[in-house]
Structure 1
Amino acid sequence: MKTARLLTLSLLFFFLAFSHVWASLMDADISPELLEKFYKKKLIVPKIENPETVVPERLKVEETVPTLEELLKKYSPEKLIESVNLKGNGEKVLYVLPVEKLFFLPFEEYYLKWHKKGVKIIVLSKGKFSLEELYRKVEDPSLISKEGKNVYTLRAPLFIGNNATLVVKDSTLRLAFEPGAPIMCSGELYILNSTVLTWDTKNNRYLPIGKIDRKSYYLYGAQPPRPYIVAVMNGKLRIVSSTIKGLGYRGLFSSFGLGANRWENKKKPYLSLLNFFVSSFLKEEKENSREPAVVLVGNTIENNYMGYYSNETLGAVVLGNVFRGNYQYNFDPHDWSKGLIVGYNIFEGAHKAHGVVFSRFTEGKVFKNICAGNHGAGIMMDRLSRALIEGNLILGNGIGGISLLESDGNEILNNTVIRNNAYGIYVRNSLNALIGGNTILRNAGAGIEVSVIDISYQTYRNLYLDPYHLASSAWIEENEIRGNMRGEVKSLWGGVAVFKNRFASTDFVPFGGDLRLLASKILKSQEEEPVVVPGKGRKEWIKREIPDITPYLLRFEERALKLGNREAMLPIGFIKLNEETGSSPCEKLKGQGVEWILKRAIEGDSNALTSLGLILLTCKSREQRKEALVLLSEGALLGSAQSKYVLFLLPLLSEIDQREIERAFKEAVKRVESGFLVNCELWKEELSCCPKTVNPLLKSKLRSFRKRFHVLGAKSCYDFLSKDIKTFTKEALENKLKRVKGRIEKKNERFVRFFQWEEEQLRRATEEYEKNSTEALTFFERNREIIETWNLVLRDSAKKDFELIKPLLEQRIREINLFRTEKMKLNVEKEINHFWRKYFEGD
């Protein structure tokens, strides 16, 4: 049974539906669950050469969860709603544009759907908008329509810029499935006392996700894009006392339902000037940047592809919500998301995976939640994630209660882990877990398992981002562990320390694996001092290093410069800029990188002028910002398509308006005519002199600009930019579509390779059973009998177990209601009856 927990059973179901193995299974009458356990049993025993001794250490508990009073004082739903002022002072500016003009926004698969269909996007540039103000200002029912009092249908994608806010209050917002109405926010989005859902405009009805076929569930590009809401960069998402349903799909960029993505630029800045611009200027921290990126209080979030997903998000407060029936995960903060406060929620019934999963370097606190009936684990820490997991009720989950997979240093304290369909608490390839004060009762696996597992068969694992070690250890102290089907504590190569626990096993031998023969010692001695049983393994990381090609690039460009290629000065500058210290490019103005770029800009290189302008845009000084606009204008005058595009974006996404751009163009024309391309006073420390350019092409390029200006019939410089970027954006979008298709193929190739491998293992396991292998027959028959017996045990203990947790369940539901407004409060009696019927009465 120990091998049942390595992968979700859904991986198995996917390829069974598409292979001959399924027919064999039906003929042989083998449970897919048991088949998976049998073939995994032969694969997971680690093969470690020269293993070292692994001894658990007891973590010092230095963190605490915030008190209920502290949280209510700051995050009362009524106060949060009252604090939002619907009337915003200042100008309200929005744009309606062809969607390809914002090709850099990560709508990913949606672009494949929208391509050449004339889809428009609404961009909120400045000011605070209500839904009614948005509807009236757009004045186009094909983009946003009003169906009744406070009922609106958004029929186009929406981008909320840095300096804009949208408030959805006391309303119903329908997001059209066709052509698609995802919402992306780098400003602020408030959803208060409202309902947001996916809408079928053809049939005028709510469009639930419905059943997703197995192939579409795993492979990218297979599901049709559905509307979603995601905060990007420093965007703020505030959702209080609302219902969110039917959003999201499996996509390449945070398209899963509700989400937040810091959108960090993974590329080196010298490889993409546009990415450099997006990742620096658009991410400028705001005055309220210390506030959490996401606040979700008192909502019902159900039937989405995922309830919530994040990537690199700094801070999220999630209190008093009900996450139910979301398709994959109910709650999935991911990839370097930090500072999460996740308390007093219900996470129930995730169809395909876990209730709560922190994955890849994610950290936070998970406390006082109810995690029940999820297909996978109730709570999982995955891929070097860490949390204080305290006071949760973990009930009836499909794979198990609490999982630590390749995640060190987790604290699991004072939880009630009961009647889960596999382990209670599972520690795999994770060091120094502290498991204390928990009640771990009647789980179908071991109460606690600490194991070292060889996961090299996971060919889809990214060893650049997801290293792991073959070593596990846990300190197990003052828990009540009883009645678990596979024993109370089990170890497979893992190191454990057992101290002052209470045991009451269903088996004569309460301990399994490496602890099986130590039962008398543990039971006799653990009250006096910790019984330490060292494990075996290797603590060093199994990983891959991303090769650094920067030195080779630098040598290549320096060689080109020596041979007379002056264009090499620009990449040399960016390479050096990237190597210099500083959190922003503006902090590197005195470095060699900027000096190289400056030298090339003086010579009239339009890309260097653009680069210098982008760097200055990250600065706070008014004078530097003004110079940035002039440099970008010079780049545009001299033919840089990227300069034109950046200048076009600035009024949409920043406080810079079109008048400032007009003034910058006038100054740029004077400089090009005079030959002085930079402000010598501003750069006097970097320049020994401010040479006058001798490039004879400058005035020729200026004449070409003026000619094109008149040919396009432009009324202003900004109008010229808007018209002249058409070719640039068209080509950029075509290139993006190619990249999206390539990424889909690359990602899917990993899964397909793994599915093919696993299908072969299933075929071999089935053949072994059909050949009447003694080992196989014994395994299947024994497990069938154990499962039947276990179901009888659960049935007989149902009332007693329910009475044990009923006070805690009632208390938790009442506490959750404190974070919900009157109309959203849960019926306590109805909820208790629901949990009884679903997790106890049916056993």
Structure 2
Amino acid sequence: MSVVGGLWKRSALALLLVPALAGAARAFDREGIEVINRNYTAMMEALEADPADGVDAPLDAAYRLLNHGEDRPKANEDGPAGSAAAPAGSTRQGVVGKALVAPILQQVALEVGSMGHRELMEAAAPSGGEVLVVKAGSLTLSALPDALESSGWQDFLTGADGNYSLNIPLVIMEDGTLVIGPGDRLEMATDRGAFILNLGTLTVTDATVTGSDARPRLSDFHPFILTARGGRAAITGSRFSNLGFDTRPLMSGLAFGSSPFASLKSQGTVSDTVFDNVRSVEVTGIEDFVFSRNRIQKARGIGLRLDKLKGGAIRDNVIIKSGMHGMLALGSTGLEVAGNISAENGGRGFFGRDGVGHLVVADNVFVANEDEGVAVAGGSCVDIRGNAVLRNRRDGINVSQSLGVRLAGNLLVRNQGAGISINDSISPADSVEVTQNRFVANNVGITAERFSAIRLSGNNLSDQLPVLFGGALQYDTPRYLGWVRAHEDDPEAVFEISSARGGSPLIFQGDSNGMFRLSDMTGCHFEELK
């Protein structure tokens, strides 16, 4: 074919597309976009407010962004949804003692590993290898100095009238309980390697816990609190700052850890609490964890790290300006991530990978993150619905190597990559459902590479013109525009795109009618859209 002939054919195709493009352009919703922009601006202003004012103002603004200007219903006066009562601890008078730290860390290592323990013992060397222990019974922080004075250990915890400094590592043993109560302020001595290891029961209510500004023996050490080996912790209405032994697992600030094989799992709930300049909040291997109405700001690492959880609810939190991802979920199942704001983080707003399953990511706002707003790699039964994903530096939503995925009812605005990106399917029998999403001025609307099948229905791309599809989907643009014109009065109609191109990393090949179908084994059940 001559060059002139090729140009003529492309010009003719462009002329044929003009009516379809014009029809879509007539649906441009200038007023609706102005409402989105106003609500976005109001939410970003609320995020800059004093964190001591709580999370209500930014969550109210986020709700208006998600619900076209409607006001958020009043919160349940009985407390945040999914919250639990404080763990029951001992009512006996507390008994304190001293112990060597090495044998205790060896017991912890049997369940959650020993990485970082050698450096931890070096950081805590000023204590001579010893720790203070709450051996049994219950003690409040204000009663602890008197208990120590009777044994001549008053230098371990100094201060009075609600202001205390912990100068030695503290371990709460299995039968012990420590209560840090309203108005208490506990500063852990960074230069003396102080930390709290909770193997029993810890309650922190309306209190402040911080690491001191003193220079540590190891440059990246900051105090931390770890609940492990069946320990129980309930934290509410408090503030944590200057915590986290950088890059050491489960020493990142506030952490909960259990082995998948442990007969007694650690338990934890955290609500209405502010985390400022911690490395991370980290949760590994526990069940039914509840994290609600908290604010994590300027975390030095990942804001909230969730590893191998079973069940649990992450609701109504504000996570802003983390050094890495806002939230990371690894190999967790049955997790609900709902009603959160994840903004201006150094990585993704939310990243689920390495076997996350039966995951719901709903009614969140992911905005201005340095990478994707939402990314899932290696997941199954993933329902990403009703989120606002705006102005992220790469894709709005990116899904790869996953099964049983639904992307529904999301608002995708001005992301610098694609609004939705789908890549690297792992079964030819699987399809991704993309329904009732709205796309506004993303770099590309929807892009895909090495995919099996994508089912589109009820999506609004009228404000996404001119680049609707990218990657391998771009060749289906004319067919899609014709289909839209033919089904203007049928919102339930489905436009399906399938791909069987070579080079796809599908783990099953051949006749899908007779082979083992992994997609049939996922047991996905998605909530009906409202």
The two structures have a TM-score, normalised by structure 2, of: 0.72
1:167-206 equivalences in 2 (<5 Å): 167-169=179-181, 170-200=183-213
1:437-456 to structure 2, matched below 5 A, reads 437-452=409-424
Pair 1:235-2:199 in alignment: no
SS in 2 for 1:407: strand
- Evaluate the alpha carbon distance shift between residue 310 and residue 370 of structure 1 in structure 2; reply closer, same or farther with a 3 A threshold: same
For the aligned residue pairs, the C-alpha RMSD in angstroms reads: 3.0
Aligned length: 414
Match of 1:489 in 2: 446
Q: Does 1:435 align with 2:407?
A: yes
What's 2:268 paired with? 294
Which residue, 487, 494, 497 being the options, matches 1:530? 494
Q: 1:344 to 1:415 in 2, by over 3 A?
A: same
CA deviations over 1:415-461 (Å, ceiling 9, x no partner) = 111111111110122222100011111110011000129xxxxxxxx
1:290-342: CA deviation from partner (whole Å, max 9, x where unpaired): xx821111111111011x111101121111111111011111111x2121211
Alpha-carbon distance in structure 2 between the residues aligned to 1:166 and 1:540: 52
1:378 alignment counterpart: 349
2:489 matches 1:516:
no
Aligned to 1:815: none
CA deviation after TM superposition for structure 1 residue 249, in Å = 2.1
Which residue identity does 1:488 align to in structure 2?
Answer: G
Residue in 1 that maps onto 2:128? 118
* Structure 2 CA distance for partners of 1:70 and 1:507, relative to 1, 3 Å: closer
Post-superposition CA distance 1:756-809 (Å, at most 9, x none)? xxxxxxxxxxxxxxxxxxxxxxxxxxxxxxxxxxxxxxxxxxxxxxxxxxxxxx
Residue 147 of structure 2: aligned partner: 137
Say if 2:420 and 2:445, in contact at 8 Å, map to a contact too: yes
Q: Which amino acid aligns with 2:476?
A: L
CA distance, structure 2, for counterparts of residue 391 and residue 245 of structure 1: 28
1:316 aligned residue: 289
User: In structure 2, what is the Cα distance between the partners aligned to 1:85 and 1:432?
Assistant: 40
1:303-382 equivalent positions in 2, closer than 5 A: 303-306=277-280, 308-334=281-307, 336-351=308-323, 353-382=324-353
- TM-superposed CA distance for 1:517, in Å, is 1.4
In the superposition, relative to structure 1, how do residues 375 and 200 fare at CA in structure 2: closer, same or farther (>3 Å)?
A: closer
Q: Give 1 or 2 for the bigger CA radius of gyration.
A: 1
- Relative to structure 1, is the Cα distance of residues 248 and 469 closer, same or farther in structure 2, using a 3 angstrom cutoff? farther
Equivalent of 2:507, from 535, 540, 552? 540
Structure 1 contact 472–493 (Cα < 8 Å) conserved: no
SS at 1:135 equivalent: helix
Aligned partner letter, 2:162? N
Deviation at 1:372, TM superposition (A): 0.8
Which one scores higher on RCO, CA 8 angstroms, separation ≥ 6?
1
Contact 1:429 1:472 in 2 (8 A): no
Amino acid at match of 2:496: V
Give structure 1 stretches of 5+ with no counterpart.
1-66, 208-220, 266-278, 286-291, 454-467, 542-843
In the alignment, residue 300 of structure 2 is paired with which amino acid? Y
Answer whether contact 2:188 2:194 (CA < 8 A) is retained: yes
Give the CA deviation at 1:115. 5.8
The residue number in structure 2 matching 1:567 is none
- Would you tell me which structure has more strand in proportion to its own residues? 2
Question: What's the offset of the Cα at 1:505?
Answer: 5.1
Given that residues 223 and 249 in structure 1 are in contact (C-alpha distance below 8 angstroms), is that contact kept between their aligned partners in structure 2?
no
Equivalent in 378, 384, 390 of residue 406 of structure 1: 378
Q: Distance in 2 between matches of 1:72 and 1:379?
A: 29
Equivalent-residue separation in structure 1 for 2:237 and 2:212 (angstroms)? 21
1:159 aligns with 2:171: yes
Q: Tell me the CA shift for residue 200 of structure 1.
A: 3.5
Whether the 8 Å contact between 1:488 and 1:505 is mirrored in structure 2 is no
In structure 2, the residue corresponding to 1:110 is in which secondary structure?
Answer: helix
**How far, CA to CA, are the matches of 1:471 and 1:178 in structure 2?**
58
What is the letter of the counterpart of residue 521 of structure 1? R
Percentage of matched positions with identical amino acids:
21
**Offset, 1:189:** 0.8
Check conservation: 1:317, 1:340, Cα contact below 8 A. Answer: yes
Q: 1:362 to 1:256 in 2, by over 3 A?
A: farther
Tell me, yes or no, if the aligned pair for 1:321 and 1:346 is still in contact at 8 Å: yes
SS at match of 2:142: helix
SS at 2:134's partner residue? Answer: strand
Look up the SS of the partner of 2:349 in the other structure. Answer: strand
Equivalent residue, structure 1, for 2:35: none
Task: State the Cα distance separating 1:507 from its structure 2 match.
Answer: 4.7
> Given that residues 450 and 473 in structure 1 are in contact (C-alpha distance below 8 angstroms), is that contact kept between their aligned partners in structure 2?
no
| Separation of aligned partners in 1, 2:260 and 2:81 | 32
Alignment map for 1:470-481 (pairs within 5 Å): 473-481=431-439
Structure 2: distance between partners of 1:426 and 1:173 = 42
Given that residues 282 and 304 in structure 2 are in contact (C-alpha distance below 8 angstroms), is that contact kept between their aligned partners in structure 1?
yes
Say yes or no: does 1:128 pair with 2:138. Answer: yes
| Native 8 Å contact 1:244 1:300 kept in 2 | yes
CA contact under 8 A between 2:94 and 2:177: conserved in structure 1? Answer: no
- Extract unaligned runs of 5+ from structure 2: 1-71, 110-115, 509-530
- Change over 3 Å in CA distance of 1:70–1:472 after alignment to 2: farther
Q: What secondary structure, in the 3-state scheme, does the structure 2 residue paired with 1:189 have?
A: strand
- In the alignment, what sits opposite 2:240? 244
Q: Distance in 1 between matches of 2:418 and 2:218?
A: 38
Query: What secondary structure does 2:300 align onto?
Result: coil
- My pick for the range that moved more, 116-125 or 442-451, is 116-125
| 1:222, distance to aligned residue in structure 2 (A) | 8.2
Q: Aligned ranges for residues 698-777 of structure 1 at < 5 Å?
A: none
Give the equivalent residue in structure 2 for 1:73.
78
Residue deviations 1:584-636, cap 9 Å, x none? xxxxxxxxxxxxxxxxxxxxxxxxxxxxxxxxxxxxxxxxxxxxxxxxxxxxx
**Contact 2:303 2:327 (8 Å CA) reproduced:** yes
| Alignment deviations for residues 709-758 of structure 1 (CA, whole Å, 9 cap, x no partner) | xxxxxxxxxxxxxxxxxxxxxxxxxxxxxxxxxxxxxxxxxxxxxxxxxx
Partner secondary structure for residue 246 of structure 1: strand
Cα displacement (A) at 1:201: 5.0
Residue type of the alignment partner of 1:318:
F
Hey, what's the Cα distance between the residues in 2 that align with 1:419 and 1:76?
Answer: 30
1: CA distance, partners of 2:202 / 2:218: 30
Q: How far apart, in 2, do the equivalents of 1:240 and 1:300 lie?
A: 9
Paired with 1:333 and 1:488, the residues of 2 have a C-alpha distance of 30
Residues 29-44 of structure 1 mapped to structure 2, 5 A cutoff: none
Distance in 2 (CA, whole Å) between partners of 1:511 and 1:157 is: 57
Match of 2:68 in 1: none
Task: Say if 1:344 and 1:368, in contact at 8 Å, map to a contact too.
Answer: yes
Within 2, Cα distance between the matches of 1:85 and 1:427? 42
AA aligned to 2:285 is: E
SS at match of 1:97: strand
Conserved? CA contact 1:471–1:538, under 8 Å: no
